[in-house]
């Protein structure tokens, strides 16, 4: 059979691989829990109150990979897998890499060699993510956020939000994701006049959340679905996921 006979045509909407990151306690897990028939692979504690089906807390890299293998190799009723969180999963990756090489810490080999070695195990994780997607599952990876200085070669440097991962792993996880979504509180500024003509600008919030889907200087983000730049999330946990899924073709094609 030649390659010409295998040419594919038409649009195919496959289950998405999403990376959702944001500050601690903003409701990332609650958002993801609204996905169709979810199951949680937990690498950190704190999801018991959500109440969705979940594997026991992964204490090792092997625990995490075994859970992924169960979902990718066996028949089950779940249609969405939530990995909560990838930054805590990174600790499991580092621990496994250290055990493989007889290191006491990921820093031991020096010159960043430990983090480069860990990438090989990150590739195993991402291969499992793809295997679950091939099985028909959406995969939602959650991460905390950090603020890092970015030296932009085209202008002055600035601080921005990004996933709380080592830069090498973060680049690979973001590359593998169909969308990198930054979840944050809606900030409203209030300008007040002080003495001597001074103006003080204060940031305030009312508990509203927003999801950013395209990169701006303030935060890393991307999407392959023509999503709006910003999605205002409804207040109720049950309403957050439909507001996001409405912009992802796979969920609308079902």
**Cα–Cα distance measured from residue 15 to residue 158, given in angstroms and rounded to the nearest whole number:** 35
How many Å apart are CA 236 and CA 241, to the nearest integer? 10
- At residue 201 the predicted structure's pLDDT band, cuts being 50, 70 and 90, is very low
Q: Which helix (H) or strand (E) holds 185?
A: strand 179-193
Q: Residue 56: its pLDDT value, please?
A: 95
pLDDT at 203: 44
| Residues near 181 by beta carbon (within 8 Å), at least 6 away in sequence | 18, 19, 20, 21, 211, 212, 213, 221, 223, 244
Residue 7, both tokens: 């040419």
pLDDT tens-digit profile of 212-232? 999 999 999 999 999 999 999
Reported as a single tens digit per residue, the pLDDT across 203-212 is 445 578 999 9
pLDDT at 237 > cutoff 90: no
To 10 degrees, what angle do helices 61-73 and 86-101 make? 110
Q: Quickly state the pLDDT bin for 171 (edges 50, 70, 90).
A: very high
């Amino acid at each position: 059979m030649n390659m010409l006979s295998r040419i594919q045509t038409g649009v195919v909407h496959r289950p998405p691989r999403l990376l959702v990151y944001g500050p601690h306690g903003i409701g990332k897990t609650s958002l993801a829990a609204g996905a169709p028939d979810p199951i949680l692979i937990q690498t950190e504690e704190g999801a018991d109150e959500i109440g969705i089906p979940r594997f026991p807390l992964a204490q090792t890299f092997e625990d995490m990979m075994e859970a992924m293998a169960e979902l990718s190799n066996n028949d089950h009723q779940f249609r969405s897998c939530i990995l909560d969180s990838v930054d805590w999963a990174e600790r499991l990756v580092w621990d496994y890499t250290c055990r493989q090489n007889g290191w006491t810490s990921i820093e031991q080999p020096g010159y960043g060699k430990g983090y480069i070695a860990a990438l090989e195990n990150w590739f195993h994780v991402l291969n499992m993510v793809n295997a679950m997607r091939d099985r028909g599952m959406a995969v939602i990876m959650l991460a905390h956020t950090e603020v890092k200085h970015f030296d932009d070669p085209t202008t002055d440097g600035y601080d921005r939000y990004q996933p709380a991962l080592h830069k090498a792993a973060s680049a690979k996880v973001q590359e593998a994701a169909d969308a990198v979504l930054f979840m944050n509180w809606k900030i409203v500024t209030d300008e007040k006049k002080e003495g001597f003509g001074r103006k003080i600008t204060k940031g305030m919030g009312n508990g509203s959340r927003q999801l950013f889907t395209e990169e701006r200087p303030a935060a890393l983000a991307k999407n392959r679905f023509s999503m709006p730049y910003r999605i205002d999330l409804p207040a109720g946990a049950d309403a957050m996921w439909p507001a996001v899924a409405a912009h992802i073709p796979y969920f609308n094609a079902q």
